[in-house]
Every structure is written in structure tokens, then in C-alpha cells.
């Protein structure tokens, strides 16, 4: 058993791992964890922020929050297969949320996954999320494609998402990537498709790492008059 500020895990060996999450991303199920796993040296193409750190992007899924969740993961039951189950108990205003995901990595270089979740955390507005992806690594190249759909009981709130990306390891220390994504909104929502692209780079020199990306996002959140460009640079040291 390992302890943390927001969760603790119970390692049951070949029977898998059970996580009790108090809050934060540590309680994310497969839908949130696999919403966009296309290769990127830094952030996903749609993931930009403004000066105050508030996200501007429309994320691929409308998944449950990780607060007060139970996550079960097993990668030992079948070689090359990982199963993830998530459960968030209901409260007086909504029913419990359940999700499940499975991925296969039994072929060298291949990673393919599928996840589904019914997000019940908004009373009267259940959201059904579906996520699927495939990645393949060959030599220094990794390519990936990801798709997801959001089916909401709220009128004109359905979305479809597609993304692709490619990365290249120039050396052991330097990687570059390019990715693109599109969010399509339900026709009655009167929104324009959000289109994003990004170039990323990652460089490591000893204990120092630098990752950076340049993003272009048109029609942020479906707003036709909101186009954004952003550059993100992160510097880290390991002691």
C-alpha cells in the first residue's frame, strides 16, 4: 500500500490495484486518462492556457471528476492487456458514475485502447463518453490516432473529436512532434468546429529538461471569433 495526499493504492499482486482517490486527476478513469494519447513532445494540440492559467481549450470528453472515486486496474491477468474500471458513488442529486476501459500492448510497438463511461454527476444531464485510440512505434517514429464522442442528455451538447499526431526521436536527448485535432459540435449548437495544431520539442541534458510547444487553435470552444496562438515552455531540474 502506498500513500499520497489525494489517494492511496492497495496492490493486490496479480489481482490488480485498487485506488481510493480523494480528489484530483489521481481519480481519473480510463476515459479521462485516454482522452487524447496521440504522441506529443509537450502538450496536446488543443491544450493551451491564458495568462491566468485558465484552460481555453475544449477537451475531448466530459468525464467525471476524480474526486471521491474508486479505480481498479489490472495488467497482469492477460499478457499485453490492461483493464481499468472506475466508480464514483452517487449523492442525493445524482446517480453513481461507472466507466470501463481496456487496452492491448501485446504486439511490439502497438498500443490500442477503448474506454466508455456514463457520467451521472449532473442531475438530469447524463453524459455518455466513448474513447478509442491506436498508436504504433517503429524505430524513432511514433504515430497515433484518437477519437471520442460525447452523447449528452442536454440539448445540442453532443461533440465528436478526432486527433492525430507523429513524433520523431532525433536522438536519445531530443524529440520533436506535430499534432492536429478537430472538435465537431452538434448541428443545433450554432458553433463552429474547433481546429487545433501544435509543434512540440523535448530536450534533455543531464538533470535539466526543456519541453516546449507552439499551438494554433481556431474557433476556441466553438466560438467563430475566437482564434488563439500560444507558446508554452517548461524547464525542469532533477536533483
pLDDT digits (tens, 9 = 90+) for 90-127: 777 678 888 999 999 999 999 999 999 988 877 777 88
Residue burial 39-55, b: 16+ Cβ < 10 Å; e: rest: bbbbbbbbbbeeeeeee
Which range, 40-49, 131-140, 216-225, has the best average confidence (pLDDT)? 131-140
Residue 54 reports pLDDT greater than 70? no
Which position has the higher pLDDT, 162 or 14?
A: 162
Q: Are strands 194-205 and 174-185 parallel, antiparallel or unpaired?
A: antiparallel
Position 126 scores a pLDDT of: 83
Q: Check residue 16 and give left, alpha or beta (phi > 0: left; psi -120 to 50: alpha).
A: left
Position 197 scores a pLDDT of: 95
Position 25 scores a pLDDT of: 60
Position 51 scores a pLDDT of: 44
Domain ranges of the chain: 2-237
Tell me the HSE value of 232 on the side-chain side, using a 13 A CA sphere: 24
pTM of the model: 0.85
Position 37 scores a pLDDT of: 92
2-237 CATH: 2.40.160.10
Position 49 scores a pLDDT of: 61
DSSP string, the chain: -EE-SSEEEEE-GGG-EEEEE-SSGGG--HHHHTS-----SSS-TT--B-TTS-B-S--S--PPPSTTEEEEEESSSSTTEEEEEEEE--BTTB--EEEEEEEE--STTEEEEEEEEEE--STT--EEEEEEEEEEEETTEEEEEEEEEEEESSTT--EEEEEEEEEEESSSSEEEEEEEEEEEEPGGG--PPEEEEEEEEEEEETTEEEEEEEEEEESGGG-TT--EEEEEEEEEE--
Is the Cβ–Cβ distance between 111 and 80 less than 8 Å? no
pLDDT digits (tens, 9 = 90+) for 118-177: 888 777 778 899 999 999 999 999 999 999 999 988 888 899 999 999 999 999 999 999
Cα separation of 206 and 183, whole Å?
A: 39
Residue 4 reports pLDDT greater than 60? no
Which position has the higher pLDDT, 31 or 124?
A: 31
The residue among 64, 72, 61, 68 whose CA lies nearest residue 120 is: 64
Position 200 scores a pLDDT of: 97
CB atoms within 10 A of CB 226: 14
Which position has the higher pLDDT, 118 or 65?
A: 118
Position 53 scores a pLDDT of: 42
The residue among 29, 130, 126 whose CA lies nearest residue 87 is: 29
Is the Cβ–Cβ distance between 34 and 113 less than 8 Å? yes
pLDDT digits (tens, 9 = 90+) for 178-213: 999 999 998 777 889 999 999 999 999 989 999 999
Give 223's pLDDT tier (boundaries 50, 70, 90): confident
Residue 57 reports pLDDT greater than 70? no
Is the Cβ–Cβ distance between 138 and 109 less than 8 Å? yes
Amino acid at each position: 500500500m502506498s500513500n499520497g495526499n489525494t489517494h492511496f493504492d492497495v496492490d493486490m499482486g496479480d489481482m490488480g490495484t485498487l485506488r481510493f482517490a480523494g480528489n484530483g486527476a489521481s481519480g481519473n478513469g480510463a476515459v479521462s486518462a485516454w482522452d487524447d494519447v496521440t504522441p506529443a513532445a509537450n502538450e496536446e494540440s488543443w491544450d493551451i492556457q491564458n495568462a491566468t492559467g485558465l484552460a481555453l481549450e475544449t477537451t475531448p470528453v466530459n468525464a467525471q471528476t476524480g474526486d471521491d472515486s474508486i479505480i481498479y486496474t489490472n495488467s497482469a491477468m492477460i499478457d499485453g492487456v490492461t483493464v481499468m474500471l472506475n466508480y464514483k458513488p452517487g449523492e442525493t442529486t445524482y446517480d453513481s458514475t461507472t466507466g470501463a476501459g481496456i487496452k492491448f500492448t501485446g504486439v511490439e510497438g502497438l498500443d490500442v485502447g477503448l474506454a466508455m463511461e456514463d457520467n451521472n454527476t449532473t442531475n438530469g444531464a447524463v453524459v455518455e463518453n466513448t474513447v478509442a485510440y491506436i498508436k504504433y512505434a517503429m524505430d524513432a517514429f511514433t504515430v497515433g490516432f484518437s477519437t471520442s464522442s460525447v452523447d449528452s442528455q442536454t440539448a445540442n451538447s453532443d461533440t465528436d473529436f478526432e486527433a492525430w499526431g507523429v513524433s520523431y526521436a532525433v536522438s536519445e536527448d531530443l524529440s520533436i512532434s506535430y499534432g492536429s485535432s478537430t472538435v465537431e459540435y452538434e448541428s443545433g449548437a450554432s458553433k463552429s468546429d474547433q481546429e487545433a495544431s501544435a509543434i512540440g520539442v523535448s530536450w534533455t541534458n543531464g538533470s535539466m529538461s526543456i519541453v516546449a510547444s507552439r499551438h494554433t487553435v481556431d474557433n476556441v470552444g466553438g466560438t467563430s471569433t475566437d482564434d488563439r496562438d500560444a507558446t508554452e515552455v517548461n524547464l525542469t531540474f532533477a536533483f
